[in-house]
Structure 1
Amino acid sequence: MRDNPSLKHIPIAIGGNRHERGVIATCNYPARAFGVRSAMSTHEALKRCPQLTLLRGNMEKYKSVSRQIQAIFLRYTELVEPLSLDEAYLDVSDCSLFHGSATFIAEDIRRTVLQETGLTVSAGVAPNKFLAKIASDENKPDGLFVLSPDKIKDFIHTLPLRRIPGVGQKTAEKLTQLSLTHCRDIVTLGEEPSTQMLALLLKHFGSLASTLIKRSQGIDERPVQQSRERKSIGVEQTLAKDLEQLEQAQAELLKLLPTLEQRLSQSGKASLLQKIGVKLKFSDFRQTTVETQSNQLNMLLFKQLLEQAWQRRQDKAVRLIGIQLGFKTFCEEQLSLPF
């Protein structure tokens, strides 16, 4: 849209073309108005928006502009934690510009990025990472939202639990089944959760209970880290034609292994390999992942995991195959239990 102004006001998406199977990587707001969204199949996106313009991605361009924007961030603070090509946390506590006003700093960053790259930026200003992330989504696609300490209580009180990072669709559905839809349903800001609530969350969500309790109180003690610990890598392929035979799936899995081996080598984390997994997406768009502990790329184990995942297809064909690796991590939140 920046490079071709004629695209600005029409629905566009990055994701293959009309004659190939694929998945939408991202789309603009005119396309979202039709219900198109990231990770949707190209076929479904075209059903919802027949006039959708599909474009190929250009990763080298994205990386180049991302580096340019990251360089702008570093003019304001060294404490920059990239989340992806187009998102980052900045800790501006020690920035002396604008008398230390985070709001004015964010405004200046937005203005500078627009001037130097031609791209708009949405920003959230808040006391911690979790609240800043939520705030950054409030006034998209080109806005600023400030969540000052005196507004946190009212904001958190009405915040849907599904908006907490890490709460996916299945977790949100389970929470709803338990009559937990908003942060206020778990705990009141400034108070400890009841013994009954703690037991309920531990029973149904395990280690995620700690995050749910803390975020429902607006608490996030994680510092902004200049380098982020990578937890996993993977490779997957949307197939040109659905597969109905296990042998076909095994052949496709073999094709993915060299790319995964290359990414593992490039990551420099082979010694931290802890688990491997296989992901399948079926023709009805259900998906499943099967994992097991392993410190090496064991092809026999991958095949066994594929067979286990295959049993879950309920007579549906397979449209996507993926293999992935998980690494040991050293900064997981711990849940403190009362005794």
Structure 2
Amino acid sequence: MNPYLCDMDFPFPIRKIIHVDMDAFYASVEQHDDPSLKGKPIAVGGEHRGVVSAASYEARKFGVRSAMPSKTAKEKCPHLIFVPPRFSRYKEISKKIREIFFEYTDLVEPLSLDEAYLDVTENKKGIESANQIAKEIRQKILEQTGLTASAGISINKFLAKVASDINKPNGQKTIHPDKIENFLEELPVEKFYGVGKVTANKMFSLGIFKGKDLKKKSLEELIKLFGKSGGYYYNVVRGIHTSEVKPHRIQKSVAVERTFFEDLFDEQQINEKLESLSQELHQRLRRNNILGRTLTLKIKYKDFSLFTRSVTKEEYFSSSEQYYNIGKKLWELRPYDKPVRLLGLSLSHLNTEEKKQISVQLKIPFREFED
């Protein structure tokens, strides 16, 4: 008897994984809290010299997207309404949403404030249907926050992530084990999680447009074409993704950055901003008892060209003075004397990476997996 109760044999344990993704989270929070914004194209972010942190669905119809310069967003949608971000409010609602997740399982892996993976293979309510759990979670989120969420359900994180985008907004999609092969073969390669615009264009140039085209390539060919990512593409197009839901994600970096209302060129202004960033970075690190060994300076110029340079030490950085002094030395290594629109400092190789995180994954056969 096949323990997975489906026609395909998988070389790994099948789990019930849900990926929950809030719909246009920041923008939806603003529209919920201010009813006058409902139905209007809004962007969360700074209107002058900033970037879009999130865009409402009404704004997305005009091509406005997150990470887009505010100036470009305004050109695409002249009647776009900019709303300053309120991260404390987003965190407050995110906490409520995670409390709902924990009603069903302790195996919750947050990816950000607005999305998370849940392993409900065995859950606190004893519900057999992962599809039903996703419905209940989405309904509770709506009732308790007034916001909508979308969900994807399948046997691993990759498939659940892909599925959650299919019926957005306010929908869900289950990819049953029996349907994985056909689903992936017909899936456009740009829809594969982990395939960005540059990689997708390279695939198009090679005649790879759908999963079935990607599947024709051997492992050796894909590695030759895409490096180590080739192995990832070879596996996921066959439904293979063994990464477990990790309840305790290890923070890998802490960053602070500022986009300036007017471009900076004066050396004294730069030093003042670096000092301010150093103090802010130190406060954030101290508040969370975090240390790190690699400091990175990020410079974005007026023409949007980007420069980063890092220094790694044997011992941990421990003070704002160290961040500032090293930051100034990295600034001196800049390749251009051009006006600066953004400065940032980040710390990585953190002590959090050395703390062992233990997560127990319960692996049992699927007895029921609804469409």
Same fold (TM over 0.5): yes
* TM-score of the two chains, using structure 2 as the length reference: 0.76
Partner residue, 2:301? 282
1:56 and 2:84 correspond? yes
Alignment of 1:148-227 (within 5 A): 148-172=176-200, 182-188=210-216, 193-202=218-227, 207-227=228-248
Extract unaligned runs of 5+ from structure 2: 1-30, 357-371
Counterpart secondary structure, 1:138: coil
Counterpart secondary structure, 2:32: coil
Partner residue, 1:262? 283
Contact kept, 8 Å, 2:40 with 2:59, in 1: the verdict is yes
Partner residue, 2:38? 8
Separation (CA, whole Å) in 2 of partners of 1:293 and 1:305 = 12
Partner residue, 1:304? 329
Q: Per-residue CA shift, 1:5-31, capped at 9, x if unaligned?
A: 3322111121134xx332221111001
Alignment of 1:7-86 (within 5 A): 7-17=37-47, 20-86=48-114
Contact kept, 8 Å, 1:269 with 1:327, in 2: the verdict is no
Q: Offset at 1:305?
A: 2.8
Contact kept, 8 Å, 1:123 with 1:144, in 2: the verdict is yes
Contact kept, 8 Å, 1:25 with 1:38, in 2: the verdict is yes
Quickly say closer, same or farther: Cα 1:212–1:286, change in 2 above 3 A: farther
Contact kept, 8 Å, 2:219 with 2:231, in 1: the verdict is no
Correspondent of 2:137 among 89, 103, 109: 109
Extract unaligned runs of 5+ from structure 1: 332-339
Q: Which moved more, 1:163-172 or 1:277-286?
A: 163-172
Separation (CA, whole Å) in 2 of partners of 1:267 and 1:142 = 35
Separation (CA, whole Å) in 1 of partners of 2:145 and 2:222 = 48
Quickly say closer, same or farther: Cα 1:71–1:197, change in 2 above 3 A: closer
Identity of aligned residues (%): 39
Q: CA RMSD in A?
A: 2.7
Separation (CA, whole Å) in 1 of partners of 2:190 and 2:152 = 18
Quickly say closer, same or farther: Cα 1:307–1:25, change in 2 above 3 A: same
Q: Offset at 1:39?
A: 1.5
Contact kept, 8 Å, 2:219 with 2:234, in 1: the verdict is no
Q: Per-residue CA shift, 1:227-261, capped at 9, x if unaligned?
A: 11111110000012112355543442222101111
Partner residue, 2:339? 317
Contact kept, 8 Å, 2:127 with 2:133, in 1: the verdict is no
* TM-score of the two chains, using structure 1 as the length reference: 0.83
- Corresponding letter in the other structure for 1:22: G
Separation (CA, whole Å) in 1 of partners of 2:299 and 2:192 = 26
Q: Offset at 1:174?
A: 5.4
Q: Offset at 1:71?
A: 1.0
Counterpart secondary structure, 2:170: coil
Q: Which moved more, 1:22-31 or 1:291-300?
A: 291-300
Separation (CA, whole Å) in 1 of partners of 2:276 and 2:234 = 43
Separation (CA, whole Å) in 1 of partners of 2:135 and 2:142 = 11
Counterpart secondary structure, 1:40: coil
Contact kept, 8 Å, 1:121 with 1:143, in 2: the verdict is yes
Q: Per-residue CA shift, 1:266-305, capped at 9, x if unaligned?
A: 33331xx242211122222233332343342554442333
Contact kept, 8 Å, 1:77 with 1:92, in 2: the verdict is yes
Partner residue, 2:362? none
Higher relative contact order (CA 8 A, sep 6+): 2
Partner residue, 1:124? 152
Separation (CA, whole Å) in 2 of partners of 1:96 and 1:290 = 47
Quickly say closer, same or farther: Cα 1:90–1:36, change in 2 above 3 A: same
- Corresponding letter in the other structure for 2:245: V
Correspondent of 1:94 among 122, 136, 139: 122
Q: Which moved more, 1:120-129 or 1:212-221?
A: 212-221
